[in-house]
Structure 1
């Protein structure tokens, strides 16, 4: 089977028309239609249904679309390995929300310039989920919170930065003692299902602070917005900028300056892009992103 036929099929499904797919592939619509006819003859099933200028996949077409994408990616990886050029094909990278806004946007221009043959696909998610997707080979790597256990030998790990945990309060809060603030106010809890949230929870238990009024959220941005609106206070990592605009908050450091959330890159050694991930780690270091990217406690 000619993989170019599969590429044409995927292009039509993704763009919804033969004409748009042809423009994307740099072919004539007739040439694309001929490829689809050859593919349907080989599979012995109709793959597309034409309705005017629009085209949609049949049940058989839907059944093979994801496998077709996997085959194309596999061929690209084989070509890269055969030519000793690891820096081609699709790189599947996961990232937590604060890395999506605080790290990736500031390294992409240089990354795309240095690795023009890499097709970068970014999957957002929580650290726990992304960790398992890397370990199971669904992702090549991920920018996540450092796991609370040893990294297995099948994976590599490089710490990028450490974010101090701070108490968030509204701008008009006059109390300066972080422990008193945590004891006396409505507490907006950083989700304990997340590894960063477990750091905050462990600190509360160690200091014997047990909030009676609390709300648990899995979004740091949402917590910051609620603190700004005087809903409560919180204990969160001082993550990389940008933060939501217009916040009226203060960040109060803890007595324990070593309480931190660590962020790093996890990758699978067996990935065809393992060497690439090791090579781009310097691009992900905060000091190499842009000025004023570091967490700042005010």
Structure 2
């Protein structure tokens, strides 16, 4: 049985769509459908069925999903174990939106050049979700905002960037008096459910600022684009470039605004630990900082 066919089935079940699953797997829908048919013929049962516009697992599909995931995981571990401490196998990474574009590409480029036997799975997401993914062992490492509580001893932490809070306004706006600017203009808030948004919220409370909030969202690039269009001002961490192309913004670092630390959280054990250590080593070289024990 080809393990890739099991991975295809799991992806279809998670996406609820052959077209979306095909995009994720870089296959044509026809090729993905053929993989499913072949797998169903090997097992002797239908695994998925169409319900309206979605595709859902059948009873047989649901019955084999957990076993399929364990088999896929075991196969990935075997590749890493067989490498005999050489970094190899699939490295499961998570990354926030700004890390995915601003930090991860250069790191993966260097890692791939030094350790070509490592394969990658990357899950985008919010810091809190990726944090729990690492702690639960679903991810080997993740680039996240540092939580405001100690990380578990089963994990390690490496700070990559110290990102001060900045006030951003549209082109031509004078930001000499941040308090007046924040209180007199419509305010676009960085989502308080995000760890970075909570840093912004603490700044507002600590300085007694009353804002005219009209929108709250968790996409920093979208916040910057809205400010560029003159729809308000915002406080955001000064995240790693690139920022959205073509923005014309005024930016001012806020004194005593605190910082958002972006870094790598990783699990200290597992079959892929050699690949994880290689990843952290490359990250450390990029950051030029020490690793937290």
Q: TM-score, normalised by structure 2?
A: 0.78
- 1:110-189, aligned counterparts within 5 Å? 110-189=110-189
For residue 17 of structure 2, what is the aligned residue in structure 1? none
Alignment CA distance shift 1:112-1:64 (3 Å): farther
- 1:178-217, aligned counterparts within 5 Å? 178-217=178-217
Structure 2: runs of 5 or more not aligned: 10-21, 49-54, 289-293
> Which whole-Å CA distance do the structure 1 matches of 2:230 and 2:239 have between them?
20
For residue 3 of structure 2, what is the aligned residue in structure 1? 7
> Which whole-Å CA distance do the structure 1 matches of 2:207 and 2:5 have between them?
60
Q: CA deviation at 1:264?
A: 0.7
* Contact 2:88-2:118 within 8 A present in 1 as well: yes
Q: CA deviation at 1:154?
A: 1.3
* Contact 1:267-1:274 within 8 A present in 2 as well: no
Q: CA deviation at 1:175?
A: 3.8
* Contact 2:164-2:237 within 8 A present in 1 as well: yes
Q: CA deviation at 1:85?
A: 2.9
Please report the RMSD computed on the Cα atoms of aligned residues, expressed in angstroms: 3.1
Q: CA deviation at 1:80?
A: 2.6
For residue 271 of structure 2, what is the aligned residue in structure 1? 272
Q: Deviations over 1:91-124 (max 9, x none)?
A: 1100000001101122323222322222200000
Structure 2 counterpart SS, 1:226: helix
Q: CA deviation at 1:17?
A: 4.4
> Which whole-Å CA distance do the structure 1 matches of 2:211 and 2:194 have between them?
19
> Which whole-Å CA distance do the structure 2 matches of 1:217 and 1:12 have between them?
33
* Contact 2:87-2:117 within 8 A present in 1 as well: yes
* Contact 1:12-1:20 within 8 A present in 2 as well: no
* Contact 2:158-2:284 within 8 A present in 1 as well: no
* Contact 2:47-2:61 within 8 A present in 1 as well: yes
Structure 1: runs of 5 or more not aligned: 22-31, 50-55, 290-298
- Computing the radius of gyration from Cα coordinates, the structure with the larger value is 1
> Which whole-Å CA distance do the structure 2 matches of 1:228 and 1:285 have between them?
34
Q: Deviations over 1:149-202 (max 9, x none)?
A: 001111111111111110001111024122221122111111111111111110
Q: How many residues align?
A: 262
Alignment CA distance shift 1:170-1:57 (3 Å): closer
Alignment CA distance shift 1:18-1:201 (3 Å): closer
Structure 2 counterpart SS, 1:130: helix
Task: Indicate whether 1:253 and 2:249 are aligned.
Answer: no
For residue 282 of structure 2, what is the aligned residue in structure 1? 283
* Contact 1:189-1:216 within 8 A present in 2 as well: yes
> Which whole-Å CA distance do the structure 2 matches of 1:18 and 1:145 have between them?
36
For residue 221 of structure 2, what is the aligned residue in structure 1? 221
Alignment CA distance shift 1:18-1:237 (3 Å): closer
Alignment CA distance shift 1:182-1:20 (3 Å): same
Q: Deviations over 1:215-242 (max 9, x none)?
A: 2111101110011011111110111111
Alignment CA distance shift 1:8-1:157 (3 Å): closer
For residue 13 of structure 2, what is the aligned residue in structure 1? none
Q: CA deviation at 1:10?
A: 3.3
Q: Deviations over 1:1-59 (max 9, x none)?
A: xxxx14264378576549976xxxxxxxxxx97x986x43xxxx33579xxxxxx9983
Report which stretch shifted further, 167-176 or 280-289: 280-289
